[in-house]
Amino acid sequence: MATPRTTPMLSLRDLEVRFTVGRRLIGRPKILHAVNKLSLDVERGEFVSIVGESGCGKSTLVKTLLGLQAPTAGAIAVNGKDLSDYSRLELAHMVQPIFQDPYSSLNPRKSVAANIALPLILSERPLPEQVTERVREIMRRVGLPQRFENSYPSQMSGGQRQRVAIARALITRPKILVCDEPTSALDVSVQAQILNLLRELSRDLDLTCVFISHDLSVVRRLSQRVAVMYLGRIVEIGKSEQIFQVPHHPYTRLLISSILPPDPEHHLPPARWDGGGPDPTNLPEGCHFRSRCASPQPVCATRLPELVDYEGTRVACLAYEPGATWKPQSTPC
């Protein structure tokens, strides 16, 4: 993407988040690189998905984007200004979250209206009439009937609760929405409703969305760009159609082949157990994916691949670097 552009809405530069785990009496403490030299620009109004499995660092990334976790190194800029230069309230006006579990993301002791109004009350100190009006307006927008105003979260279904969470996130009209697996706790038919709502809202309100998921199929219809994360790094990033049609990185291929379509002609491959990934607190030299890769080469053990441009996407795999003489086989799971 060489085109000159305006300031990205969200810009991550060599972001690193490290944790010390298992302090020991003797020897060095173990260091977990939850997010490792991650760079990403998200344009205004863009819908970017970040996909990866448990332990890839996506939850830490969410916390860092929301200002709940300080980065160890590197920088995050929101609308051109460093995250650390924002006050809590200023940041709340720019970035709002939608969390995974609608059963835990709403305060059970508060009514729906009080839950939704919280960001508004904290940031704008409005009059009570204004609060009621704004709450009703946003409830209409996310498809919640007004009769739920005085209900409590325990009276609602998962899908309705997630709509409440979306209403709360949008009531102050933020610029960036960070969605942390917002549908993984929901039923399929409700998941589709919520995904469509997010898609529609992001377009109508010109929202910049970062959508985190463990499931590639969920983000397929949603996002303009998809980034695949593995052990704290982005291993492939590109336009959504491209990632799905011609995935390059063996891990992206593995994720795509793990989608089970509702098609009885699709057969499960024989169970093959690779050795699993490396210990994240003790990453080896070279490519971190090579122990799970179907066609690792000797060179993979020597150098950690960086993201390089390859046919319109960016891939972190030595096979796609200029001059590489082999391409990875598609992983038979």
Partner 1 sequence: MAGDIETRQKPILSVRNLEVSIRTAVGDLRATGGVSFDVAPGETFAIVGESGCGKSISSAAVMGLLPRAATARADRCEFDGQEMLTLSRREREKIRGNTISMIFQDPMTSLNPVYTIGNQLMEVFLRHKKGTRAEARDRAIFLLERVGIKNAAERMKAYPHQLSGGLRQRVVIAMAMMCGPKLIIADEPTTALDVTVQMRTLALLAEVQKDFGLAVILITHDLGIVASLADRVVVMYAGKIVENAPTRSLFRAPLHPYTQGLIQCIPSHGPAGADAPLHTIPGMVPSLIGRHEGCSFRNRCALARPECAVGEIGLTAFEADHGYRCVVPHQTLMAHWRETEGMKA
Partner 2 sequence: MSNAPAPLDNMDIALPTPRQQSWAMAKRHLGLQIGLAIVLVATFAALFAPLLAPADPYAQDLTARLAPTIWQEGGTWAHILGTDGFGRDVLSRLIYGTQVTMIVGFGAAVFSGLIGTTLGIIGGYLGGRVDAVIIFLINVKLAMPGVLIALSLVSIFGGSLLSITLILSLLFWDRFAVVTRTATQQVRTREFIAAAECSGASKSWILLREILPNIANQIIVIGSLEMAIAILVEAALSFLGLGIRPPMSSWGILVSEARDFMFYKPHLVLIPGLAICILVIGINLLGDGIRDVTEPQGRN
Q: Which of 153, 250, 277, 280 binds partner 2 (CB under 8 A)?
A: 153
Torsion of CA 231, 221, 250, 324, to 10 degrees: -110
Q: Which CB sits closer to partner 2, 155 or 302?
A: 155
Which residues make Cβ contacts (< 8 Å) with residue 162, sequence separation at least 6? 98, 102, 182, 183, 186, 190, 194
Q: Are 251 and 230 in contact (CB under 8 A)?
A: yes
Whole-angstrom distance, CA of residue 236 vs CA of residue 310: 10
**Which residues within the stretch 1-20 sit at the binding site for partner 1 (CB under 8 A)?**
none
Strand partners, 96: 177
Which residues make Cβ contacts (< 8 Å) with residue 236, sequence separation at least 6? 227, 228, 243, 247, 248, 249, 251, 252, 313, 314, 315, 316, 317
**Minimum CB distance to partner 2, residue 200 (Å):** 22
SS3 state of residue 203? helix
**Which residues within the stretch 101-140 sit at the binding site for partner 1 (CB under 8 A)?**
none
**Minimum CB distance to partner 1, residue 159 (Å):** 7
* Distance (Å) of CA 13 to CA 16, 42, 46, 71: 9, 12, 18, 11
**Taking contact as CB under 8 A, which single stretch among the options 16-24, 88-96, 131-139, 154-162 is the one that binds partner 1?**
154-162
Which partner in partner 2, partner 1, none is near 92 (CB below 5 to 8 A by kind)?
Answer: partner 2
Q: Which CB sits closer to partner 1, 82 or 206?
A: 206
Which residues make Cβ contacts (< 8 Å) with residue 147, sequence separation at least 6? none
Q: Are 331 and 248 in contact (CB under 8 A)?
A: no
Whole-angstrom distance, CA of residue 78 vs CA of residue 85: 10
Tell me if 261 contacts partner 1 by CB under 8 A: yes
**Minimum CB distance to partner 2, residue 246 (Å):** 37
Per-residue x/- mask for partner 1, residues 220 to 249, rule CB under 8 A? Answer: xxxxx---------------xx--xx----
**Which residues within the stretch 66-85 sit at the binding site for partner 2 (CB under 8 A)?**
66-68
Selection from 71, 118, 82 nearest residue 97 by Cα: 118
Per-residue x/- mask for partner 1, residues 25 to 54, rule CB under 8 A? Answer: ----------------------x-----xx
**Binding interface with partner 1 (CB under 8 A):** 47, 53-54, 157-160, 187-193, 195-196, 199-200, 214-218, 220-224, 240-241, 244-245, 254-255, 257-264, 266-273, 276, 333
Which residues of this chain interact with partner 2, rule CB under 8 A? Answer: 66-68, 87-89, 91-93, 95-97, 99-101, 103-110, 115, 118-119, 122-123, 150-155, 165, 168, 172
